[in-house]
Chains A and B, each alone.
Chain A
Amino acid sequence: MAKHGLRVIAIAYLFFLLVLPVGLIVWRTFGDGLGPFVEALTSASAVHAFQVTLTVALWAVAANTVFGIGTAILLVRHNFPGKRLLNALIDLPMAVSPVVVGLALILVYGKFAPVGGLLESWGVQVIFSTPGMVLATVFVALPLVVRAVVPVLEELGDEQEQAAHTLGASRLQTFLRITLPGIRWALAYGVVLCLARSLGEYGAVAVVSGRLVDQTQTLTLFVEERFQNFDQPAAFAAATALALIAVITLLLTKFLRPKG
C-alpha cells in the first residue's frame, strides 16, 4: 500500500513539474501544425541566434574538453602542492550562481576594468561579444568533463601507460594510443553533457552578452526576448527546439553511459 502511495506521489510530482510544462510547450508549438514552427525558426533573428549559440557552445566545449582531460590527468596521475585546492575549485561553478559568474567576468574583462581595458587596447572586445560569452559558458560547464573522466582514469590505473612506456612509446604516443582510448566513452559522456549545458546556458551569458538582438543573442536569450515581446509562437518554437536538443543529449548520454 505504502509502495503504491509513493509511486502515485512520484508520478504526480514528475507530471506537474516536468511532463505538463514541457508537454504544454510542445502542444502550443505544434498547435497550428508544423508550418508556424518552421517559419518561426527560420526567421533571420532565430537563425542568427542559432549560429551564435552554436559558435559559443562549440568553443566552450572545445576549451572544456582540453582543460577537462588535462586537469583529470593532473588530478589522477600527479601529486603536487595545491592538488586538493584545485580539486575543490573545479566544483565551484556548480555552487556559484551563473549571474554572479557573469558579473565577475564583467568586473575583470569589462571595458573599464584593468584586464578588459588592456585587451580592448589590442582590439579584443570581451564583454558584450563572443569571447565573453564563451568565457561565461566555459565557466559554468567547467566541471562536467573533468568529473566524467576522473573516475574512469582512476579505474584504468597507470600500468597500461607504464607498459606502453617500456615498449618505447613517448608520453604523447602513450596518451593517444592508450589513455585516450581507455577514457573515450567517459570523455564522450562528459562532452555531451558539456554541450547540453553550453547550449542551454542562460544566466551568465545574459549578463555578459548585453542581450544585443541579432548580435549577441543566443537561443535561450531569444526565447526570453520573444516571450517578453509577446511573440509567443517564436518563443515556444525556440523553446521546443532547445527541449529537443536536451532530449537528444539525454538519449546520447544514456547510450554512452553503460560502456563508460
Chain B
Amino acid sequence: MAIEVRDVNKSFGTTPVLRDVSIDVKSGSLTALLGPSGGGKSTLLRVIAGLEQPDTGTVRISGVDATRLSPQRRNVGFVFQHYAAFKHLTVFRNVAFGLEIRKRPKDEIRKRVMELLELVHLEQMADRYPSQLSGGQRQRMALARALAVEPEVLLLDEPFGALDAQVRKELRTWLRRLHDEVHVTTVFVTHDQEEAIEVADTIVVLADGEVKQVGSPAEVYDNPADPFVMRFLGPVTEIGGNLVRPHDIEISAGPVEGGTAATVSRVVRLGFEVRVELTVEGRDAWVQVTRGFAEQLALTPGDVVNVRPAPGARSLTLAAV
C-alpha cells in the first residue's frame, strides 16, 4: 500500500471534520476522494500531506509511519486548487524549486525541469511568470513542480475546480493519460462525480467526515452502499418505494408483470435523450429513454403507461417514512 490511513479523527474546535477515517491507497493507483463540499475531503488530503495534524489515528506512506513527520519530510507532491504558484519565480524556477532545495547539480536540474515541462506541454513557457499563464497552464506547471521531486504520492485538491468547463474536461483526460505514463500513486479530491468516474480507478466516497463507500467507479455507481451514495453518484428517481436510476426503468404501453401504472405528465426532449416525467402512485418520478423509443411509443402527456425496473437494474429500498 502506498498510503494507509487508520482511524483518523480530526476536529476544528468542537466540529468533528473527520470521523474514524480509514483508507488504503494501492501503489500506482489513481484514486478519487469524492464527496459533497464541506465533507472533509481537503482535510483528509492535508492530513496525508502533513499540512494538518490528525487528533488521533495514523498515516503511513510507503509503509513508513508518517503521522508525526513534517510535510517537508514526507516526500509527497501536493497540488492546490488555486495553483499556489510562486509568483515571483519563472515557470522554470517554479518547477526547479524542489530540486534546488535538494541541492541537485545545475545541469541535472535543467535537464529534469525541461523534461517535465515537455511532459506538461509548457516547454515554450519556461521563462514566463505565472501571471502570464492561463489557469490551465498554471495548474500544469503546479503539477510539474510537484512531480519534479519524484514524490511517493501525488495529492491533488480539486485540481481543476478553478477552471472553466472546457479546460476542465481537457485536463481530466490529460491527467488520466499522464498517470498512465508516470504511474505515480495519485489521490485527487473532487466534488464532481462525473470527473471521479471518468478519471479514477478507485473512488472513495467521503461525506460528513466519514467514508461511505470505497470501490471501482462501476462498483460505486452500480452497487451504491446507501441511498446517499446512490444519489450522489448519478441521477435517481423513486418508484414504488425504491430508488432507481432513471435509465434503468422500462416503459410499456400495456400491462406487464411486476409493472406499476403511471400517468405521463410531461415529455422533455434533451437532444438524443428524452426525459419522461410521470406520476406513479401519486408521486412524481422520471424516466430517461432514447428519442427513438419515445417516438415509437408516441408518448404524450396524459397517457397511462406501465413502468417497472429493467431486468438486472439496481435499486435500493428506501425506509418507509
- The smallest C-beta distance from B77 to any residue of chain A, in angstroms, reads 7
- Total contacting residues, chain B, CB less than 8 A: 28
- The smallest C-beta distance from B42 to any residue of chain A, in angstroms, reads 12
| A167 x B84 contact (CB < 8 A) | no
Q: Is B86 an interface residue (CB 8 A)?
A: yes
Q: Which residues of A contact B85 (CB under 8 A)?
A: 160
Interface residues of B in 58-107 (CB under 8 A from A): 70-78, 80, 82, 84-88, 97-98, 101-102
| A163 x B84 contact (CB < 8 A) | yes
Among B77, B88, B142, point to the contact of A181 (Cβ < 8 A).
B88
| B101 x A166 contact (CB < 8 A) | no
Among A84-92, A168-176, A241-249, the one that faces the other chain is A168-176
Q: Which residues of A contact B285 (CB under 8 A)?
A: none
Who on chain B is nearest to A163 by CB? Answer: B84
Interface residues of B in 129-146 (CB under 8 A from A): 142, 145-146
Per-residue interface assignment for chain A, residues 145 to 169, with 1 indicating a CB less than 8 Å from any chain B CB and 0 otherwise: 0000000000000011011111111
Q: Which residues of B contact A164 (CB under 8 A)?
A: 86, 97
Evaluate whether A168 and B84 lie within 8 angstroms (CB atoms) in the complex, with A162-B51, A163-B78, A173-B101 already known. Answer: no
- The smallest C-beta distance from B139 to any residue of chain A, in angstroms, reads 13
Who on chain B is nearest to A180 by CB? Answer: B88
| B72 x A169 contact (CB < 8 A) | yes
Q: Is B205 an interface residue (CB 8 A)?
A: no
| B71 x A165 contact (CB < 8 A) | yes
Interface residues of chain A: helix, strand, loop or mixed (majority): helix
Q: For the complex, give the distance between the alpha carbons of A168 and B78 in Å.
A: 11
| B76 x A166 contact (CB < 8 A) | yes
Q: Which residues of A contact B50 (CB under 8 A)?
A: 166
Who on chain A is nearest to B102 by CB? Answer: A168
Interface residues of A in 195-252 (CB under 8 A from B): none
| B74 x A166 contact (CB < 8 A) | yes
| B101 x A168 contact (CB < 8 A) | yes
Q: Which residues of B contact A182 (CB under 8 A)?
A: 87-88
- The smallest C-beta distance from B252 to any residue of chain A, in angstroms, reads 56
Q: For the complex, give the distance between the alpha carbons of A182 and B88 in Å.
A: 7
Among B51, B77, B101, point to the contact of A169 (Cβ < 8 A).
B101
| A168 x B88 contact (CB < 8 A) | no
| B84 x A162 contact (CB < 8 A) | yes
Among B70, B87, B88, B97, point to the contact of A167 (Cβ < 8 A).
B97
Q: Is A178 an interface residue (CB 8 A)?
A: yes
- The smallest C-beta distance from B223 to any residue of chain A, in angstroms, reads 36
